Amino acid sequence: MIKAITGTKDILPIDIPKWKYLESIVESTMKTFNYKEIRTPIFEETALFSRGIGESTDIVSKEMYSFVDRSGTSVTLKPEMTASTVRAFMEHSLGKQQGLNKLYYVSPMFRQERPQAGRYRQFHQFGAEALGSHEPLIDAEMIILAHRIISRLGLNNIEIKINSLGIPESREKYKIILKEFIKPHFEKLTEDSRKRFDTNILRIFDSKADNDQQIMKDAPLLIDHLDEESLKHFETVKQILDKAKIKYDVDPKLVRGLDYYTHTTFEILSSSVGAQSALCGGGRYNLLAEQLGGNPTPAIGFAAGIERILLACENEKSLNLPEDNIDLYIVRMDKELTAEAYELSVIFRNENINVELDYLSRSVKAQMREANKLNAKFVLLIGGDEYAQKKLVLKNMETSEQIFFDINDLISIKEKIIN
C-alpha cells in the first residue's frame, strides 16, 4: 500500500476542530490589529528563495524542495512566506497604494528536514509581515501580536527572547572582532561551525554542540558593538514592550538563521514541547526588498509553527473546545419510509439545520445509538402508530421531552429545534 511521504502528516477529521479554532484565533487577532490576509502560490521560482533567504542558510543550502518543471524552470515549494510576500508586495506595487502594508497569512510550508517530533517536511505556519515602516513601534507590535495569539490559545509556559542585530555597517565591524576571537579556537569547532566561520559567522552562536557553546560562551557580543542609532531603536522597542506589560529576556546570542535580518529579532519558546521548542521567530528585514531588486523597504515579520503550537496546547491542555454535535437525527422506524425520511432531511438542511440520518438500513435501536454518538440535540421519529395518525415525534435528547407535531407542520418543528 502507498503511504504518505515521510515527514508529511494527514490532518484527520478528529483533529480539524483544533486547527479551525487556532485559525479562528489567528484571524480574529489579526483583525484586531488590522492585518489583511495575503495568499501566494505554493511554489515560486527557486531564485526568489535562494536570493531572498540567503545561500548560506540551512533552508537554502539543504532543506528546499526544488525541482525543474517541464518547461525547464527551477521551482521551489515555499519554505517560508517572507520572500513570497515581499515578491507579491513589489509585483503589485502595494507600497504605492499604502504607506504601511500590514499583511498576514496561514499556509503550508515545505522543508526537507530530518523528521522528528515538531519537525516535519510539510508543516504549517501563520505569520505577519509589515512593510513600509522604520518605526520601532512596529517591531514592538509584531512581538505583541505574536504574543497575543499565543496567549489567547491559553499557553503559559512561554518565554520571549529578543535581540538586536543592528545595521550592516556595525555588524560588519563586529564580525571582524568576532573572527579574531574565534580564530585561535577554529580547529576545535564542529564542521558545521567551521563552515559558518566564512559564510555566516554569527550563526556559530546557533550551534547546539557543547564544545561550540563552550567556546562561544566568552565571545564578544554584537549588542556591545551596536551603533548609537540601533541602540536607540532597540531601547524604544523594549520600552513599548514594557508599557504593554510583555515579559521578555534580551538574549545577545539570539542571531536567527536568515541573512536578511536587521535590528530587532525575536523568538517565542515553549517549555511544553520538548527539544523543538521554538514556537515562533521573527525580525526586521530592512534589506530584503532591495536584495530582491525592489525599492528599499523597511519591513518586519514573524512566522509561527502551527504543529508545534498545537502540540504545546495539547501538552498544557489549554484548549477547551466544545464537543461536536448535530441539531437533528431523523430516525426512520419503517424501512418503507426511507424516501420520506430523506425528503425531511432535505427540507431541514435547506433551513440550515444540520441533520443526519441512517444510510445503512440500521434498526431503530441502532439509529438511536448513532444519534447519541453524534450528540444529536433532537431526534425526529418517523413511523409507527404516530405516523399512521399523521404525526411526527420530536424528542429532545437532553430532557427526553417528546412533542408531537402534525406531519405538515414542519415550521413548528424547525422553531423548536432552533430555539
Nearer to ligand ATP, 221 or 278 (CB): 278
If the CB atoms of residues 59 and 368 are measured against ligand ATP, the closer one turns out to be 59
Shortest spacing between CB 124 and ligand ATP, in angstroms:
8
Closest CA to 164 of 233, 258, 213: 233
Provide the grid cell at 389.
395518525
Residue found under cell 512593510: 131
Q: Which is closer to ligand ATP, CB of 79 or CB of 95?
A: 79
**Closest approach of ligand ATP to the CB of residue 113, in Å:** 5
Please give the grid coordinates belonging to residue 189: 569547532
Q: If you search the block for the grid coordinates 567551521, which residue do you land on?
A: 194
State in angstroms the smallest separation of the CB of 240 from ligand ATP: 22
Rounded CA-CA distance 358/164 in Å is 62
Give the DSSP H or E segment for 242: helix 228-243
Dihedral angle computed from the Cα positions of residues 80, 82, 87 and 89, in that order, rounded to the nearest 10 degrees = 140
State in angstroms the smallest separation of the CB of 157 from ligand ATP: 15
The span from the CA of 382 to the CA of 364, in Å, is 10
Minimal distance in Å, beta carbon 414 to ligand ATP? 46
Residues near ligand ATP (CB under 6 A) are 80, 111, 113, 118-120, 123, 125, 257, 276, 278-281, 303-305, 307-308
Considering beta carbons, is residue 88 or 303 the nearer one to ligand ATP? Answer: 303
For the record, the C-alpha cell of 140 comes out as 514592538
Beta strand residue intervals within 194-298, DSSP E: 249-250, 262-270, 278-284
Q: Which is nearer to ligand ATP, 268 or 376 (CB)?
A: 268
Measured from the CB of residue 116, what is the shortest distance to ligand ATP in angstroms?
9
Q: Which residues of 318-356 are buried (b: 16+ CB within 10 A; e: fewer)?
A: bbeeeeeeebbbbbbbeeebeeebeebbeebeeeebebb
Least spacing, CB of residue 306 vs ligand ATP, in Å: 8
Q: Quick one: 124 or 332, whose CB is closer to ligand ATP?
A: 124
CB of 109 to ligand ATP, least distance (A): 7
In order of 166, 175, 291, 413, the CA distances from 287 in angstroms are 12, 18, 6, 63
- Residue closer to ligand ATP by CB (options 266, 378) is 266
Taking CB positions, which residue lies at the least distance from ligand ATP? 305
Q: Helix 136-152 crosses helix 16-32 at what angle (to 10 degrees)?
A: 150
Q: Give 177 or 278: the residue with its C-beta nearer to ligand ATP.
A: 278
End-to-end CA distance of the chain: 49
